Amino acid sequence: MQILVDIGHPAHVHFFKNFIWEMQKRDHKVIINTVDKEVSLDLLNKYNFKYEVYGKSANGLFGYAKLLSKGDLKTYKTQKKYDIDIIVGIGNIFGAHVSKITKAKSISFTDTEHAKLINYASFPFVSCICTPDCYTKNLGKKHVLYNGYHELAYLHPDYFTPNPEVLKELGLSEDDTYIILRFVSWGASHDIGQHGIQNKMEFVKELEKYGRVLITSEAKLDPELEKYKMKISPEKLHDLLYYATLYIGEGATTASECAILGTHAIYVNTLRLGYMDEEEEKYDLVYNCTNPESMEREAFDKAINLLKDPNLRQEGKTKREKLLAEKIDVTKFMVDLVFDLVGQHN
């Protein structure tokens, strides 16, 4: 089988890496095309993946239109060169369009109800739309639901074992209280008109009274926040999240990663998502602060409440066991789905 994997964001590298290794182990050919966004190329290089680049990530409608034309053309050429059987991606706009005019099948994985531009551009053309079963919209006949989250494709214990060595790099131990803050760039199409933490420095100063603050940010930080920026290679972030006392951030993916790792997460963003709601209501590992009028105060009050609990870490790991027991191995699901769709078995 000839498989094309479309990478549009660093998180997509994590999502597909175990799928890629599994398919390669079964002697299928996997080709990777990627957008150059943040640390995507660093991660692909770290995992020794060969890839070709569509172009730089884009902002604004004109930028998206330009990237779309380049991506469609690049995907079409790749399909013709390698006789691709199936194109998989999160969103997977390029693959959706190319699969409509070639023999290739296509799968769009998504968990983001409000990604209207990407969903509108891909859903009508794709062969199959795959979402967690807590996704809040019915997408019709092509919609396939599974009992899991994107982040289980790489943080399921069958694939991920935390390494405490990262703590030494930052002068920390497993007993230290540290809080991870994440700021997003607000450059994605679904982020237009949304916001998260406004008074960043004030937020950091207050949290510092309870433990060490480490920041990861898509956007350039103000000079006064630079000293808090964590300096580790990107593939070690999940180890750091596992041992963290608390996560607070504007990024939903990182909040969900924390939930799966058993680290309590406070999500501060005006956008709501089905999987984030479930991780709050069913597992009590994520706390959604989405009201634009009160989100910052809500988030801070919740953070202080949690940080006062001396057993917070252990409680999180206990909740994680329940989550893992009730969810599936998402990589295995992806592999089986691809074989079913292409009509091959291995």
Residue 39 lies in a domain: yes
Establish if 66 belongs to a structural domain.
yes
**Could you tell me if 191 and 248 lie in one domain?**
yes
Q: Is residue 160 part of a domain?
A: no
* Helix %, strand %, coil % of the chain (to 5): 45, 20, 35
The verdict on 18 and 111 lying in the same domain is yes
Query: Of residues 290 and 5, which shows the higher confidence score?
Result: 5
CA distances from 305 to 9, 256, 296 (A): 34, 20, 14
In this structure, are 231 and 124 located in the same domain? no
> Do 35 and 54 contact (CB within 8 A), yes or no?
yes
Same domain, 300 and 230: yes
pLDDT of res. 186: 44
Nearest CA to 174 out of 263, 265, 244, 232 is that of: 244
Q: Please indicate, yes or no, if residue 283 is contained in any of the structural domains.
A: yes
> Comparing 123 with 186, which gets the higher pLDDT?
123
Q: Are residues 314 and 334 in the same domain?
A: no
Query: Confidence class of residue 196 from pLDDT cuts 50, 70 and 90?
Result: low
The answer to whether position 155 is within a domain reads no
Q: What is the value of pTM for the model shown?
A: 0.93
Please tell me whether residues 320 and 332 are part of one structural domain: no
pLDDT at 188 (0 to 100): 52
**In this predicted model, which residue has the larger pLDDT, 221 or 48?**
48
- My answer on whether 334 and 275 are in the same domain is no
Where residue 134 sits, what CATH number does that domain have?
3.40.50.2000
pLDDT at res. 193: 47
Q: For residues 198 and 228, state if they share a domain.
A: yes
Q: How far apart are CA 256 and CA 304, in angstroms?
A: 20
The boundaries of the domain holding residue 199 are 165-326
Q: Are residues 211 and 124 in the same domain?
A: no
Percent of the residues in the chain that have a pLDDT greater than 90, as a whole number: 82
Q: Is 283 helix (H, G, I), strand (E, B) or coil?
A: coil
Q: Which residue did the predictor score with more confidence, 192 or 88?
A: 88
The three-state secondary structure class of 288 is strand
Question: What average pLDDT score do residues 177-188 get?
Answer: 80
Judge if 112 and 201 occupy the same domain.
no
Q: Is 180 inside a domain boundary?
A: yes
* Within a domain: 24: yes
Question: Which token pair is 280?
Answer: 């709050």
CA 256 – CA 265 distance, rounded (Å) = 8
Q: Which of 56-70, 141-155, 215-229, 256-270 has the lowest mean pLDDT?
A: 56-70
> Count of domains in the chain?
2
Q: Which residue has the higher pLDDT, 198 or 266?
A: 266
265-268 and 128-132 as β-strands: parallel, antiparallel, unpaired?
unpaired
**Mutual orientation of helices 252-261 and 312-326 as an angle, nearest 10°?**
90
Q: Write the CB contacts of 152 (distance below 8 Å, at least 6 apart in sequence).
A: 260, 327, 328, 329, 330
Instruction: With cut-offs at 50, 70 and 90, classify the pLDDT of residue 345.
Output: low
Q: What is the average pLDDT across 212-233?
A: 92
- My answer on whether 333 and 320 are in the same domain is no
Q: What is the mean pLDDT of the chain?
A: 93
Mark whether 288 and 320 lie in a shared domain. Answer: yes
pLDDT reading at 344 higher than 50: yes
Q: Is 158 within a domain?
A: no
